[in-house]
Amino acid sequence: MVSGLGVLGAVELPGEAASVVRARVFVRGVLGRAGVDEASDVLLLVSELVTNAVAHSESGEGGRVGLVVIGCPDRIVRVEVCDQGSEASKPRVRDDQGLLATGGRGLRLVEQIARGWDWEEDGSGRTVWFEVAV
């Protein structure tokens, strides 16, 4: 059960690899306080999106990554990951990378697990979001 609608929690983290773990810990705590017992899908997708934000946006060059957790009706949790964007890289699901590929699976996992996902850009950066039933 998700107790509460609207923003359940928000945090801003450094654009560095260590923030992936911090993001998972933050989201686990927020969802626990909201009465969500099983959050493994949400945590996996948070890891993927924060990793992408650090690796493929200007946030990874000394910037910041924002994370917002939202409780929605019908036991849906929405997570938004905000980064500083990149002129060179846009979020996309890569074609099949094969079993031996070392990367490129993050958004494919999001696409397969989430109820919905998308991304948008504005003048201040990019937001990638997903929704998962809990």
Q: How confident is the model at residue 1 (pLDDT cuts 50, 70, 90)?
A: low
40 backbone dihedrals φ, ψ, rounded to 5°:
-60, -40
* One-letter identity of residue 37: D
In the chain, how many H helices and how many E strands?
A: 3, 5
Has residue 101 got a pLDDT over 60? no
6-133 belongs to CATH 3.20.20.10:
no
Look at residue 98 in the predicted model and tell me its pLDDT.
54
Q: How large is the average pLDDT for residues 6-35?
A: 97
CB 58 within 8 Å of CB 83: yes
Give me the sign of the Cα torsion angle 132, 71, 9, 124: positive
The single-letter DSSP state of residue 22 is: H
Look at residue 103 in the predicted model and tell me its pLDDT.
53
Mapping DSSP to helix (H, G, I), strand (E, B) and coil, where does residue 68 land? Answer: strand
pLDDT in tens, 38-91: 999 999 999 999 999 999 999 999 999 999 999 999 999 999 999 999 877 776
